[in-house]
Amino acid sequence: MRHTPVLSKEVIEFLHPQTGENFVDATFGAGGHTIQILEKTGPAGRVLAIERDPKAYIASEPHKMRFGKRLILVQDDFRNLKEIAHRHSITAAEGILFDLGMSSDQLDDPKRGLSFQSSGTLDMRFDQTAGYTAQQVLDEYPVSELARIFREYGEERYARRIARAVVSARSIRRIENTQSLFDCIRRSLPQSARKTAADSARRIFQALRIEVNQELDALQSALPQAHTLLAPGGKLAVISFHSLEDRIVKRFFQEKLKGCTCPPEFPVCICGKHPQVRVLTRKPVTASEEELAANPRARSAKLRVAQKLG
């Protein structure tokens, strides 16, 4: 399946790229957003694009040939954004984009193990050359740790129950593929909840993926770096796909929105604090019915945008 970037029209409307401007795409993926930005910024515009997945990086070769030096593509983790930008002499970007979704190629690859729709290996790493796998998490984590990540990262009601089932099952036979994990999850649920086992499975798979890739830590680290890297008037756009990501983005924007924190009885401000952003999306932007009809995977996407003041 060809990957379609979500909310691409809305991203362009908010970022409003102009000729000669510099942008950062912190999550290049299949390049859909980057290509649109490069087409808008003309021969002098540049995009610094970051991609963690080696396979996606290799697949980007045609884009590098098409855009030449205007596309600076780096295989790295966006938690290293400040260092990457410094290395490539990007000091003030007019816009920075994070699209936190997975590509169709990643989701549909059974060797990734990101979906239980087909049987595959329990890897779940975005960069399959580094770090530990979901298989190792399931093999080694005690009940308490499994329950914690299922609860915190999956927001799963039956987190401890499923964690106990995993540890019990692995003592008899290793849970070694996505189908056997799904079966274990389903069996662990109360009879009344088994009709919606797929929902619990989605939450458990999400939790494992977040743990393996340290996704929330990376986002919390990258957002302040992105704000620093923006030029005054530059815009930070983030597309999230679940409540944990969206909450981090919302709180970050709220923190940057705060002004004076002096007690109300003070006659004048002495803290010197002032709002650092203007939030452009009062509520998160979601996909239109037209987009959902063409790309159902956009259903959970939420776009938030803030503009740097200064």
Is 33 among the annotated ligand-binding positions? yes
- Ligand-binding site membership of 20 (annotated): no
- Which amino acid is residue 277, in one-letter code? V
- Residue 36 among known ligand-binding residues: no
Q: For residue 77, say whether it is annotated as part of any ligand binding site.
A: no
Tell me the residue type at 24.
V
Has 31 been labeled as part of a binding site? yes
d(CA 207, CA 189): 17
Which sign does the torsion angle of CA 7, 292, 206, 111 carry? negative
Q: Classify residue 16 by burial, with Cβ atoms within 10 Å: 0-12, 13-18, 19+.
A: exposed
DSSP-derived secondary structure for 106-147:
HHH-TTTT--SSS---S---SSTTSS--HHHHHHH--HHHHH
51 known member of a binding site: yes
Neighbours of 47 (CB within 10 A): 29
Q: Binding-site residues, please? A: 31-33, 51, 78, 99, 106
Q: Binding-site residues for S-adenosyl-L-methionine, please? A: 31-33, 51, 78, 99, 106
